[in-house]
Amino acid sequence: PIQNLGADITNLTAIHVDRVLNDWRSVLIHQVHDSIMIDVHPEDTLEGERGLHFICREIIRRYSQPFCSLRLDVSFEVGERWG
């Protein structure tokens, strides 16, 4: 159940992030396991990181607390390339 909870939280987060990105120039391009990859437009970088961090924390708080008391972290990496 815990492993599925992580996958469910990642999927729910990707859905919410994709909705937010509709108003930005950035786009969600890939999701793997517990990671979401976003092609971030340079003008969206700082605001986007703050906003996405908030969204991810809220999704984790909302959906994991009833099932799990573990602390789940959110982290971001920004770079010129991925891979």
Residue 1 has a pLDDT of 55
* DSSP run (H or E) holding 62: helix 45-64
Please tell me the distance from the alpha carbon of residue 70 to that of residue 47, in angstroms, as a whole number.
Answer: 28
The 10 Å CB-count burial string (b at 16+, else e) for 49-59 is eeebeebbeeb
Q: For residues 48 and 28, which has the higher predicted lDDT (pLDDT)?
A: 28
Q: Name the pTM for this structure.
A: 0.74
Give which of 14, 83, 11, 80 is closest to 52, Cα–Cα: 14
6-38 residue pLDDT tens: 788 888 889 988 888 888 888 899 888 888 888
What is the average pLDDT value for the chain, to the nearest integer? 80
Q: How confident is the model at residue 63 (pLDDT cuts 50, 70, 90)?
A: confident
Q: Report the C-alpha gap between 81 and 17 in whole angstroms.
A: 20
Share of the chain above pLDDT 90, in %: 1
